[in-house]
Homo-oligomer: A and B are copies of this chain.
Amino acid sequence: MEAVLTEAVALLDEAGDSALTFRALAARLGGGVGSIYWYVASKDELLDRATDHVVGQLLSDVQERTNGDDPVDDLRVLALMMFDAIVARPWLGAYFMRNSLLQPNTLRLYDLLGQQVLRLELTPRQSFHAVSAVVGFTVGTAADLGQEPPQEILDGRVGREEYLARFADMWRALDPDEYPYVHQIADEFAHHDDADQFRAGLDLLLAGLRQQAGR
């Protein structure tokens, strides 16, 4: 069982979403296809368990870093760690949203975020909304930014720099009257860093939360 999950995760890490097939996994485990079905009832369940498996690792990393002075700072650290974990494993993002609250480790992670918010002493509704917002923003942004890059950048034919530069060039070539924002932002986009982008958005969200909590 443990081996099944480990190899499944390894397969996902190495070649992404499409690499995890029952046949490939069986070959890797040195067994038959049917054997895997003794441990999991379907591919959906395999994915769910594999996801929760790595969330478990994230969880133990996270639990050491909590309980600082400021709840919002703690929240920030937790969100950043979640973000990093998803970016490091692009396949994670897509499955993070699915069934999230049914998997044990994910629920624990969710609660850990909630514990920080509880310290802000908001109303229950405000607490609920705050946690949902942080989770939604983190997972959504990470899944968006961490999506599998196109083939040409994956095998190193073109670097990230050049890839971004292409977009920037396309956008600069657009009519500034029709696309005033995209046209103006092209330079910024060409040299942007995903993690910076996430941190900036997260800080906006947390600033709003701070304001609501009166801190």
Chain A positions near chain B (C-beta within 8 angstroms): 94, 97-98, 100-101, 107-108, 110-115, 117-118, 124-133, 135-137, 139-141, 143-145, 147, 167, 179-182, 184-185, 187-189, 192, 196-198, 200-209, 211-212
Contact = CB atoms under 8 A, between A and B. Distances in A.
Contact of A181 (B101, B115, B204): B115
Contact of A204 (B179, B184, B212): B212
Given A101-B167, A140-B141, A201 B110 contact: no
A188 B140 contact: no
A74 B185 CA distance: 20
Given A115-B180, A131-B181, A204 B197 contact: no
Contacts of A201: 129-130, 132-133, 136-137, 205
Given A118-B184, A143-B140, A188-B124, A107 B205 contact: no
A125 B113 CA distance: 29
Contacts of A206: 208
8 contacts: A110-B182, A111-B179, A118-B184, A127-B184, A129-B204, A132-B201, A136-B141, A143-B143
Contacts of A187: 124
A185 B147 contact: no
Nearest to A125: B188
A110 B201 CA distance: 16
Contacts of A114: 180-182, 184-185
Contact of A139 (B140, B182, B184, B197): B140
Given A124-B185, A125-B188, 9 more contacts: A111-B182, A112-B181, A114-B180, A114-B181, A133-B205, A136-B141, A136-B201, A143-B143, A208-B209
Contacts of A196: 129
A139 B94 CA distance: 13
3 pairs of A and B residues whose beta carbons are closest in the complex: A140-B140, A114-B181, A133-B201
Contacts of A209: 204, 208
B97 A144 contact: yes
